Structure 1
Amino acid sequence: MTVVNLQYYAQLREQAGASSEQLHTAATSLQELYEELRTRHGFSLAAEALKVAVNAQFSAWDRPLRDGDTIVFIPPVAGG
């Protein structure tokens, strides 16, 4: 199991009911992790609609997870 730190913003924060959490996961990639979180929290956005950052760097969805990673899934931004 890998331990990761997650931060949620906007719609994802509302759906998760929290702005952050620490998670023990068997997921091996960011894609697998997001699918696990969609099931866990009922996230309505598909991965294709998001950007993802790991340790403050934008990342590819197939990046392997490492213990202690801080992961942010970034939903689309609406502006006005």
Structure 2
Amino acid sequence: VSAIGYGAMGLTMAYGPTDEEAGVAALRRAHDLSVTFFDTAEMYGWGTGSNEILVGKAVRDFRDDVVLATKFGVDMSMAPEQIG
């Protein structure tokens, strides 16, 4: 994988309003710049899978050329401020 990866958390939470089209464009641009490692998580959409779905849409044309990492198992019944 590339030495620098792309962490996708901010595409669906944490840094204000989100824009799916801009998120897909950012992920594709990262790949254009030789990023081959993308990180997502169930939690990045508060358990909805929205971040993982977004990353999947973005990389579908080059999926076999990249490595995807995801994290799961966070107790989503906790309030957001309780999740560190």
Q: TM-score, normalised by structure 1?
A: 0.26
| The structure with more strand, counted as a fraction of residues | 1
Larger Rg: 2
The structure, 1 or 2, with the larger RCO (C-alpha pairs under 8 Å, 6+ apart) is 1
- Whose helix fraction is larger, Structure 1's or Structure 2's? 2
